[in-house]
């Protein structure tokens, strides 16, 4: 089994882990974590908001393992934001598509090493799944971390995502975890492991 690079194509996993006050779990993976620029911007654009401020500090303070990949969509959205223009609601998803179709994902897959996509969106769109692409959901990640003893209980973290006890957090009730109870952890055909 080969270790993965993690690519995060939407804000969901980071938002959910922040709500549960468990962003630290991403560092437990001990691997490179790629975030596309529009997703980074979505997560960190309003520094008056505690979540954006803390997530920005977390990613910026931990680079590496975090890598922010530039996309044309991200560049266009930052330019619009600079001039007060209306931003696309799905800029992160579009930037991920730009990253994938523009060869960004292939740069990581080219090494014949597995790449894991960590996602929450119900409809993650992988048109043609390469043999070294591993798919994992936030719930699947938590179940795996419990399995290897990094966390005592995945259920406790999931509960905290949905019923936060820390001040300044809102429940992730807008998110429907479609992959409960087990989560998704679909290894690459060539064999892949993200677990620490």
Q: Which domains does the chain have, with CATH numbers?
A: 2-193 (3.40.50)
Q: Which residue has the higher pLDDT, 72 or 185?
A: 185
Assign 82 a pLDDT band (cuts: 50, 70, 90).
Answer: confident
Q: How far apart are CA 154 and CA 85, in angstroms?
A: 41
Q: How far apart are CA 125 and CA 152, in angstroms?
A: 32
What's the average model confidence in pLDDT over 153-169? 91
Helix 37-44 with 91-101: angle, nearest 10 deg: 160
Compute how many other C-beta atoms are within 10 angstroms of the C-beta atom of residue 40: 24
Q: pTM higher than 0.75, yes or no?
A: yes
């Amino acid at each position: 089994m080969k270790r993965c690079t993690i690519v995060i194509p939407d804000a969901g996993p980071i938002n959910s882990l922040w709500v549960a006050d468990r962003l630290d779990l991403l560092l437990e993976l001990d691997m490179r974590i790629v975030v596309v620029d529009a997703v980074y911007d979505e997560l960190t654009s309003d520094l008056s908001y505690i979540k954006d401020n803390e997530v920005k500090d977390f990613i910026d303070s931990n680079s590496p393992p975090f890598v922010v990949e530039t996309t044309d969509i991200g560049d266009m959205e930052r330019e619009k934001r600079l001039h007060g223009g209306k931003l696309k609601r799905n800029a992160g998803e579009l930037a991920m598509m730009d990253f994938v179709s523009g060869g960004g994902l292939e740069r990581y897959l080219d090494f014949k090493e597995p790449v894991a996509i960590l996602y929450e969106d119900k409809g993650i769109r992988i048109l043609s799944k390469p043999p070294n692409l591993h798919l994992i959901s936030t719930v699947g990640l938590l179940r795996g971390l419990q399995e290897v003893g990094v966390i005592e209980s995945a259920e406790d973290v999931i509960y905290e995502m949905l019923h936060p006890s820390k001040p300044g957090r809102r429940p992730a009730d807008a998110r429907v975890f479609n992959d409960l109870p087990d989560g998704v952890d679909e290894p690459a055909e060539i064999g892949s492991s993200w677990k620490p």
